[in-house]
Each structure stands twice: as C-alpha cells, then as structure tokens.
Amino acid sequence: MSDTRFVVFSAGFNSEKWVRKNILSVKKQKYKNYVHVVVDDATTDGTKRYLELLKHGKLEVHRNEKNLRWAHNAIKYIDLHTKSDEDVIVVVDLDDWLAGPYVLQTLHEIYTKNKCWMTCGGLANFKGNKIAGVRNINLSLKNKRIRDQGCFTHLKTFKSFLWNNLDKNDLKGPDGRYVKCTYDRAIMYPMAEMTPVDKIQIVNELFYIYNQSNPLAVCNIENKNQKTNKKFFKKKKSYEKLYRK
C-alpha cells in the first residue's frame, strides 16, 4: 500500500488545559507520515508556553496576533503544508484530541482500501471528566439533499483536492465575513456534494474526543450564531459532483 500523507490541522484559542492532550494524541500515532499544523489563535493564557514545551519534529506552529477563528485560519494556513492533491487533511480542534494511537493508521487503511475522498464520524463527547459513547451518524446520502440532513461530524477528514475545489467565499456567513462558528457545515456540505456517494466513508468506531468541558467551546458560547449559520448554510446552492479520472 502506498503511504497516505496526513495534514493534521488544529486551531484554537485559550486551550491551555487541553492542548497537551491534543499534541500528544497526534505525536503518539503509530502511523508517522503526517505533519501536525497548529494555530495559536491569539491566545491569552498558557497555550503558547505549552506549545513551546511540546515541540517535536512533526509539529508546525503558527501564531496569530489577532483572533481569526477556524475558517479564516484554515484558508490562511492549510495550503502552506499540503504537498499533493492526494494529501488528507484531518481536522482536530485544539481543545479536542484523537482517541487512540491507531487513528491515522486506520484512516490510511480506509483511504487505501475504499479509495475514498472523505470520511467523517467516530465522535465521543468529553464532559465532566467523562467520555460518553460513540455518537453514530445516520445519513441518507443517496435519497436526500445533503443540506437537508444532519451535519457531517468529527472526525472530519478529506482529500486536499476537495479543499482546493471549495470556493472559500462559501466559508463566509450572513454578514459577509468568515464564520466564527459552524465551519463544519460550511466545508462539509460542499465537499460531500462534490463527492460521489461511494467515495464518502462514514466511521462509527471511536476516533475523536469532542471536549464539551471547555467553557469556551462553540456549543457553549455561540448557540444563537450556530442556529443562524446552520439555516444560512442549509439554504445555500448545492455544488455539482466533481469528476476525476
């Protein structure tokens, strides 16, 4: 099997309590063909210090003077670290972490065996210092308009060529600015629409720990904006299927 190259992308603000989990969960992966791109999004706590302590050869850290949020950071930094259209981008928010040391290895096997373009799923919640069960995804990819369904959730991974074919203006919200929340719908709806059904892999094994204990988590502070953006992205025009030889 040819190696899959992963670009793990982690951006976040004031994550000092969880950044160590994030960095080590990637560093401990048994599969080593990856780069871990971290964006310190103008943090004001000890995140910067922890990132300096946790430096290693596969970690690339960028620091912002101004807080930009995920969508703007992704546009600014992902392309700096992709080398091929076949690279796989793996989204792990800076206050979240991978569930075990074989996530990238399993993803490599999934992408190789199924020749897929994107995957999603494998999420469990972390709240009150406890990890809940894996949240299964129920999607009808053949019979329903993708934007009329629930969201494609963590762990989100996708081939670089999908990212390159995404109109980055579609990461802007109702106010014309890059969204501060609900980026998952902004990127995953178009990518799923571009992707043939047999090239999307839904994962229901444990890959990703979503940290609801963070008081700054979007689900805790942006509930109103989430609802507004959800309606906005669901109503946007669908993308055409992308065909590749």
For residues 94 and 15, the answer to whether their CB atoms sit within 8 Å is yes
| Owning domain of residue 25 | 6-235
Look at residues 185, 191, 189, 181 and name the one whose alpha carbon lies nearest to residue 160.
Answer: 191
Among the residue ranges 6-20, 23-37, 209-223, the one predicted with the least confidence is 209-223
Q: Is residue 240 part of a domain?
A: no
Look at residues 120, 239, 125, 229 and name the one whose alpha carbon lies nearest to residue 191.
Answer: 239
For residues 73 and 39, the answer to whether their CB atoms sit within 8 Å is yes
Mean pLDDT over the full length of the chain: 91
pLDDT tens digits along 199-231: 999 998 899 999 988 666 665 556 677 788 889
Q: What is the CATH number of the domain that holds 229?
A: 3.90.550.10
The whole model's pTM is what?
A: 0.94
Look at residues 242, 208, 48 and name the one whose alpha carbon lies nearest to residue 120.
Answer: 208
Q: Is residue 54 part of a domain?
A: yes
Q: Is residue 146 part of a domain?
A: yes
pLDDT tens digits along 58-101: 999 999 999 999 999 999 999 999 999 999 999 999 999 999 99
For residues 208 and 155, the answer to whether their CB atoms sit within 8 Å is yes
Task: Name the packing angle between helices 183-194 and 223-235 (round to 10°).
Answer: 20
Count the domains in the chain: 1
